[in-house]
Structure 1
Amino acid sequence: MKSRLLFWVLRVSLVLMPLVASTSHASSTILVFGDSLSAAYGLQTEQGWPTLLAQRLKTERLPYQVVNASVSGETTAGGLTRLNQALQQHKPTIMILALGANDGLRGLPVDAMQQNLSSMLTLAKQQKVTVLLVGMKIPPNYGPQYTQAFQQTFSSLAQQFKINLVPFLLENVAGNPALNQDDGIHPTAQAQPIVLENIWPQLKKLLKAY
């Protein structure tokens, strides 16, 4: 019984640990705050783009560790309810905010999504956290009015808050059967480096070297 309890304690502890921690220098934290597209859904944790990001930062000797607080199925409303606790717990210097895909897939009101994202950006700003906003697109079968309003939300918020924007997380991945799992939504392991490359140019502008 004691051994089983110890196993679960260790398992929980490992989940809460940073993906990669710098050992030779004091490091700042990058918080990845997204949904299943950032939570390595259907993959091993080490295959996901947040882990690949942590590995790149270590290779380039950049003073950051990555904490992935993404939750599969998360909407912007759900993210808003848990963001303050995540910021207080991890005290990030930078947050990669990658929510909204599930709002779109469920056809939730764009105005509500925009307000939730705006509230999260305001909270991050109040706590002096630099945000990289990650945009999403949804299939055209939701109708041109909805899909256009959905996509424009991210660029409008980036302009309003004067923050960096990744226009589309799944650029060069979405719609390619060879790079998506059987559900046609979640990227394969082979697609994760491409996803990282979509994020890296904008993120790199926010990073400071040793």
Structure 2
Amino acid sequence: MALVAQLSMNGKVAVGAEMRPIKIIAFGDSLTSGLGIAGTAAFPARLESALKAKGHLVTVVNAGVSGDTATSGKARIDWSVPPDADAVIVELGANDALRGIDPKITETALDALLGRLKARGLPILLVGMKAPPNMGATYEQAFNDIFPRLAQRHSVLFYPFFLDGVAANPGLNQPDGIHPNAAGVAVIVGRILPFVERLISRIRNGNQSMAAGDQAIATAFHCN
């Protein structure tokens, strides 16, 4: 007899008579993996700690790879997200912008990546990225529009900017001015936490399509 998985109210997945923490995959580039800081200070570990502090029994897996673009992320999505994953946070695009990759290429790759995850029935939190201003206004607009558009297209949860409150703040970044330091990661986690809790709620509710409130958030950050 097939075992039916359900999520209890404290965030544990029930499989038959057994209980296990829900497993969230943090899938991204060096901003996710924690380049330049200790693993315990990286985004996945800090997010897991913050969620546990709020009563959620979760495991957040670090599936970040330094240097990943949207295209290279798409190439590894099938094997980087294990069969027992319950949800995925997708953070990609920073390297695309820094390298000036055509936004159409980035969008096509992310579109395919999200499609593969949706085909598996996985709840998704898409995290937006913004192009640096020195890329020019035309590129910046085209790139920045990718993420809210994809969130609407795929009806996934959307957090507009991974580095919100951290970008361009020397005190929250490493000397390269790109990667957050431990204090910067703490800011990121604090700001994204409510969105991850919505992701957990979506797991609990069987990954229903984007709720009206989530749709409004995506629309508010969409630039026509």
Q: Verify same fold: TM over 0.5.
A: yes
Q: Does 1:31 align with 2:25?
A: yes
Q: Does 1:194 align with 2:187?
A: yes
Q: Which of 104, 115, 121 in structure 1 is aligned with 2:97?
A: 104
Alpha-carbon shift at residue 193 of structure 1 (Å): 1.0
Q: Which of 141, 149, 171 in structure 2 is aligned with 1:178?
A: 171
Q: Does 1:152 align with 2:184?
A: no
- The residue matched to 2:31 in structure 1 has which SS? coil
Number of aligned residue pairs: give it.
187
Residue in 1 that maps onto 2:117: 124
Structure 1 segments unaligned to the other structure (5+ residues): 1-20
TM-score (norm 1): 0.84
Deviations 1:98-119 (A, max 9, x none): 0011001000010010010000
Is the contact between residue 166 and residue 198 of structure 1 (CA under 8 Å) also seen in structure 2? Answer: no
TM-score (norm 2): 0.79
User: What is the percent sequence identity of the aligned residues?
Assistant: 37
Q: Provide the C-alpha distance between the structure 2 equivalents of 1:111 and 1:141, rounded to a whole number of angstroms.
A: 19
Structure 2 segments unaligned to the other structure (5+ residues): 1-11, 205-224
Q: Which of 75, 80, 83 in structure 2 is aligned with 1:81?
A: 75
Residue in 1 that maps onto 2:199: 206
Alpha-carbon shift at residue 90 of structure 1 (Å): 4.8
Residue in 1 that maps onto 2:40: 46
Q: Provide the C-alpha distance between the structure 1 equivalents of 2:22 and 2:37, rounded to a whole number of angstroms.
A: 27
Is the contact between residue 24 and residue 89 of structure 2 (CA under 8 Å) also seen in structure 1? Answer: yes
Q: Provide the C-alpha distance between the structure 2 equivalents of 1:193 and 1:177, rounded to a whole number of angstroms.
A: 15
Deviations 1:117-167 (A, max 9, x none): 000110000001111000011211101010111111000000111111110
Is the contact between residue 29 and residue 90 of structure 1 (CA under 8 Å) also seen in structure 2? Answer: no
Amino acid at match of 2:49: Q
Q: Provide the C-alpha distance between the structure 1 equivalents of 2:46 and 2:121, rounded to a whole number of angstroms.
A: 26
Q: Does 1:60 align with 2:62?
A: no
Deviations 1:51-74 (A, max 9, x none): 011112222231321111100110
Q: Provide the C-alpha distance between the structure 2 equivalents of 1:95 and 1:62, rounded to a whole number of angstroms.
A: 16
Residue in 1 that maps onto 2:84: 91
